[in-house]
Amino acid sequence: QMCQKFTVCPNSMEMLLHNKLNLPKVTEEDGDFLTFLSFQDKCLRKISSGLYTFQTYLKYVKETFISESQNVESLSYSTEHLARTIRQMVINPEEVIIPDAATQESLHTKLKSTKDWTEKITIHLILRDFTSFMEKTVRAVRYLKNTRSFSV
């Protein structure tokens, strides 16, 4: 929809040049997916922390992508619920990193300062990385569900 509506396509060089967002993701440093999952508690902490971090980005998307604000609101609510649920599964839930209000506000202000033409690229990057993060989250939760006795 973003590509058709705003002519922001995944292969756009402009998009790649302006990707200075610090979005949560699984990186090379985390090792490959199976190694990453072998540290189940660490995996759950990282997923929960990432979901909490995405909340600020989703708030920006909701405020900026007005035509889809209701869908983004629902997505944000579900993401927060999933973050809380996964946090409860961590051995020490206090170890889950939840951005404090000042950090969230600083990030939100930075995002809001983007120019109109970069705004659409920023939304696209946030949604693309959120999708990737959620794909890995689903894989991790399925794996953990099959190897641990818990229900999500």
CATH at 139: 1.20.1250.10
User: To 5 degrees, how large is the angle CA 30–CA 143–CA 85?
Assistant: 85
Q: Has residue 9 been placed in a domain?
A: no
Give me the domain span that covers residue 110: 35-149
Q: Has residue 11 been placed in a domain?
A: no
CA pair distance 38, 91, nearest whole angstrom: 15
Residue 41: predicted pLDDT = 80
Q: Has residue 49 been placed in a domain?
A: yes
Q: Has residue 29 been placed in a domain?
A: no
CA-wise closest residue to 96 among 82, 80, 84, 79: 84
What domain count does the chain have? 1
Query: Average pLDDT of the chain?
Result: 79
Q: Has residue 53 been placed in a domain?
A: yes
Which of 2-16, 52-66, 77-91 is the least confident region?
A: 2-16
